[in-house]
């Protein structure tokens, strides 16, 4: 059995052109903050890259703040916007109940260390946030809200969230969106969305690990997390990772055939529905990213399924694990109304640019046996 990678939402292979561009840049000497020729040369490449990314994201080059990860960008945005609003006594942080831990955990930290009150928006059974709940909240407590942060698309289910609607409801309240999963997979424009801040990451789109960006509206000033040389608008200090940035933006400008990925996903879904009728596709009725399929297989335990799939050389995901490595029931599925048991019987398969029809069919061909053994192990 060839090895099959269906975990592209975790990380995806680097685009060849990005790997080449990054490697070439790594051999160029010069700190982009230096004033001499070497420095200026690196700065030139880096600013070219910034313009490419701005162009891809529909923002101004000056709105791009490079970071070392999506997690860092989320932390800068959420904490920074909260602290900036704190001057006016605004203490409420609004997030959704399905955010990635890179938003959930900073929000909880703000609650435990910075007197924030965190309010989580509920989602419907298809995993879409409740805009009515948000509208009521803004109508009753709008003047207390420091920041609203709602992900653009969910990393476990791929369900796309109505961010434009959130921005409309929010009015003057700053809105941040974690668009790490959406970038390149679905149309994404910072200016069209009208958000205050947006997070993207390189390694989810075929760029290198260790580089991300926060897109922050021009003239919005927020306190920084990292203090130092003042690179990146005095908001994010640290020598800029020129090779990473060049790799990132090269990947950002590469083609991504979302229709092809979407076709694979749909084929996979209909095969599962045919072969394992009791399986339930999560978020099926919602608008979803092309590559992600989240399936509940009743009567199984996802960590058993993962082992059995891994044995067949197939990499997929169980959602989240705690620091001890124990698989936990997904908070996303729980928020969508799953029971603990059902949430722990789910797998995420995520297709990417390198996925093939043959891989899709090979995986569906082994699934029935894996599920049968998973059910047997659960009934021991």
Partner 1 sequence: MKLIAAMSGGVDSAVAAARAVDAGHEVTGVHLALSANPAKYRSGARGCCTIEDSHDARRAADVIGIPFYIWDMAEEFHDGVVEDFLSEYAAGRTPNPCLRCNEKIKFAAVLDRARAMGFDGVVTGHYARTRIGKQGKTLHRGLDHLKDQSYVLSVLTVEQISGAVFPLGDTTKIDIRAEADARGLAVAQKPDSHDICFVPSGDNAGWLRDRLGSDVGPIVDQSGVKIGEHKGAYTYTIGQRKGLGLTIPTPDGSPRFVLKIEPVTNTVVVGAREDLAITTMRGERAIWCGPSVDEKPHTGFVQIRAHGAALPCTYFFKDNLLIAILESPLLGLATGQAMVIYDGDRVVGSATICETQ
Residue positions annotated with a catalytic role: 322
Burial environment of residue 63 by CB neighbours within 10 A (0 to 12, 13 to 18, 19 or more): buried
Residue 226 has φ and ψ, to the nearest 5°, of -110, 125
Give residues with Cβ within 8 angstroms of 352, minimum separation 6. Answer: 5, 8, 12, 13, 261, 291
User: Any bridge partners for residue 348, and if so which?
Assistant: 294, 317
Give residues with Cβ within 8 angstroms of 138, minimum separation 6. Answer: 145, 169, 170, 171, 173
Minimum CB separation of residue 307 from partner 1 in Å reads 5
Chain Cα centroid distance, residue 351: 15
Comparing CB distances to partner 1, the nearer of 215 and 305 is: 305
Minimum CB separation of residue 372 from partner 1 in Å reads 10
Minimum CB separation of residue 324 from partner 1 in Å reads 5
Comparing CB distances to partner 1, the nearer of 67 and 300 is: 300
Minimum CB separation of residue 301 from partner 1 in Å reads 9
User: Any bridge partners for residue 117, and if so which?
Assistant: 92
Minimum CB separation of residue 329 from partner 1 in Å reads 11
Comparing CB distances to partner 1, the nearer of 119 and 306 is: 306
Q: Give the residue carrying structure tokens 């709940």.
A: 133
Q: Could you list the residues that contact partner 1 (CB under 8 A)?
A: 303-304, 306-308, 310-311, 321, 323-327, 373-374, 376-380
- What one-character-per-residue DSSP string does 241-285 give? -HHHHHHHHHHHTS---HHHHHHHHHHHHHHHHHH-TT-EETTTT
3-state secondary structure of 119: strand
Token digits for 312?
A: 């067949």
First CA to last CA across the chain, in angstroms?
Answer: 28
Comparing CB distances to partner 1, the nearer of 246 and 347 is: 347
């Amino acid at each position: 059995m060839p090895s099959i990678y269906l975990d592209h939402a975790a990380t995806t292979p680097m685009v060849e052109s990005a790997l080449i561009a990054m490697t070439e840049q790594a051999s160029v000497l010069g700190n982009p903050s230096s004033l001499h020729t070497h420095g200026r040369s690196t700065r030139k490449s880096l600013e070219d890259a910034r313009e490419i990314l701005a162009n891809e994201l529909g923002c101004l080059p000056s709105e791009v703040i490079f970071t070392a990860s999506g997690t860092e960008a989320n932390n800068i945005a959420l904490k920074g916007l909260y602290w900036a609003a704190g001057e006016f006594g605004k203490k409420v942080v609004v997030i959704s109940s399905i955010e990635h831990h890179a938003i959930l955990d900073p929000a909880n930290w703000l609650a435990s260390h910075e007197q924030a009150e965190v309010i989580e928006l509920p989602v419907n059974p298809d995993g879409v946030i409740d805009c009515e709940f948000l509208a009521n909240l803004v109508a009753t407590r709008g003047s207390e809200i420091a920041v609203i942060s709602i992900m653009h698309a969910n990393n476990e289910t791929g369900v796309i969230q109505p961010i434009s609607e959130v921005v409309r409801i929010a009015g003057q309240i700053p809105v941040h969106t974690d668009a790490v999963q959406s970038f390149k997979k679905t149309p994404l424009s910072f200016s069209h969305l009208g958000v205050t801040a947006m997070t993207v990451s390189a390694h989810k789109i075929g760029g290198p690990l260790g580089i991300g960006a926060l897109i922050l509206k021009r003239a919005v000033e927020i306190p920084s997390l990292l203090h130092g040389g003042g690179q990146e608008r005095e908001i994010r200090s640290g020598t800029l990772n020129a090779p990473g940035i060049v790799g990132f933006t090269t990947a950002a400008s590469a083609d991504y055939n979302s229709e092809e990925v979407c076709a694979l996903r749909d084929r996979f879904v209909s095969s599962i529905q045919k072969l394992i009728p009791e399986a339930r596709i999560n978020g099926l009725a919602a608008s979803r990213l092309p590559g992600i399929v989240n399936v509940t297989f009743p009567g199984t335990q996802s960590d058993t399924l993962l082992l059995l799939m891994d044995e067949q050389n197939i990499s997929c995901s169980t959602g989240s694990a705690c620091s001890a490595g124990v698989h936990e029931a997904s908070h996303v599925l729980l928020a969508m109304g799953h029971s603990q048991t059902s949430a722990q019987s789910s797998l995420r398969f995520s297709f990417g640019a390198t996925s093939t029809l043959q891989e899709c069919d090979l995986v569906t061909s082994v699934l029935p046996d894996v599920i049968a053994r998973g059910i047997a192990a659960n009934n021991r």
